[in-house]
């Protein structure tokens, strides 16, 4: 159920045009400047905001993230952003791209902090389970090949064996294979990109992945 302030906000926003910029959600955790720089280099207008009104009125949203899942949810809660994000994504169906921790926040639950997530994807975040800890270090840091398992506007023009830059200790686990867009093998095989409707998530960092990452961000901007 919407709060009174959000009902008032939505009523006002329905009378005005949406912003042309992609809003990068600022909740105190994420490579915000790097993402903005890459998008602007592709001619895409961006704005960084922690204002619920900007989030609900956005043309598109990017939810970045680096750090601890539990702290990220606390930050979103303390800044009053969870209700605005739900309104934007589940009610107004504004397209959103979650990056790294931002993708994990879309899950139902995370073992990192035993914390509930936003619940947009019916999966959980678990620690990477590698069979050989001497060979496969956790956190997983560096370039790794991804494999596309289905076509998507997000991955248009990207080779099925492209490499992206990773930095994470936890990964997304789901019983719904239809939402998996890309997988990555690092000792184990995990979902490195997911998609459901207008919601997208990538475990890697496109803003650190040079030309191929810039293309993915540009694809999202134009989707």
Annotated catalytic residues are 100, 205, 207
Kindly state the helix (H) or strand (E) to which residue 114 belongs, with its residue range. Answer: none
Alpha-carbon distances of 96 from 111, 126, 180, 188, 196, rounded to whole Å: 23, 22, 16, 27, 10
Q: How deeply is 175 buried, as exposed, middle or buried, from its count of CB atoms within 10 A (0-12, 13-18, 19+)?
A: exposed
Closest by CA to 98, choosing from 186, 169, 200, is 200
Phi-psi region of 42 (alpha: psi -120 to 50; beta: other; left: phi over 0): alpha
SS3 188: strand
Q: Which pair of tokens denotes residue 46? A: 């961006």
| Cα separation, 49 vs 27, whole angstroms | 8
- β-bridge pairing 96-99 and 46-49: unpaired
Burial class of residue 108 in the structure, from the number of CB atoms within 10 Å of its CB (0-12 exposed, 13-18 middle, 19+ buried)? middle
């Amino acid at each position: 159920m919407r709060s009174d302030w959000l009902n008032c906000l939505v009523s006002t926003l329905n009378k005005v045009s949406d912003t042309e910029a992609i809003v990068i959600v600022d909740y105190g955790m994420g490579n915000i400047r790097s993402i903005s720089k890459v998008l602007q280099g592709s001619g895409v207008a961006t704005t960084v905001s922690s204002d619920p009104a900007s989030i609900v009125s956005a043309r598109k949203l990017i939810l970045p993230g680096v750090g601890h899942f539990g702290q990220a949810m606390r930050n979103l809660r303390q800044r009053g952003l969870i209700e605005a994000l739900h309104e934007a994504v589940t009610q107004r169906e504004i397209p959103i791209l979650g990056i790294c921790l931002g993708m994990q926040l879309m899950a139902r639950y995370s073992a990192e902090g035993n914390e509930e997530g936003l619940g947009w994807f019916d999966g959980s975040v678990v620690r990477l389970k590698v069979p050989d800890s001497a060979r496969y270090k956790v956190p997983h840091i560096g370039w790794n090949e991804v494999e596309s398992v289905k076509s998507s506007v997000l991955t248009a023009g990207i080779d099925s064996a492209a490499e992206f830059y990773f930095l994470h200790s936890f990964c997304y686990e789901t019983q719904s294979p239809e939402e998996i867009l890309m997988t990555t093998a690092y000792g184990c095989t995990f979902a490195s990109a997911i998609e459901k409707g207008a919601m997208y998530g990538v475990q890697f960092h496109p803003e650190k992945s040079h030309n191929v990452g810039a293309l993915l961000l540009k694809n999202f901007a134009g989707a």
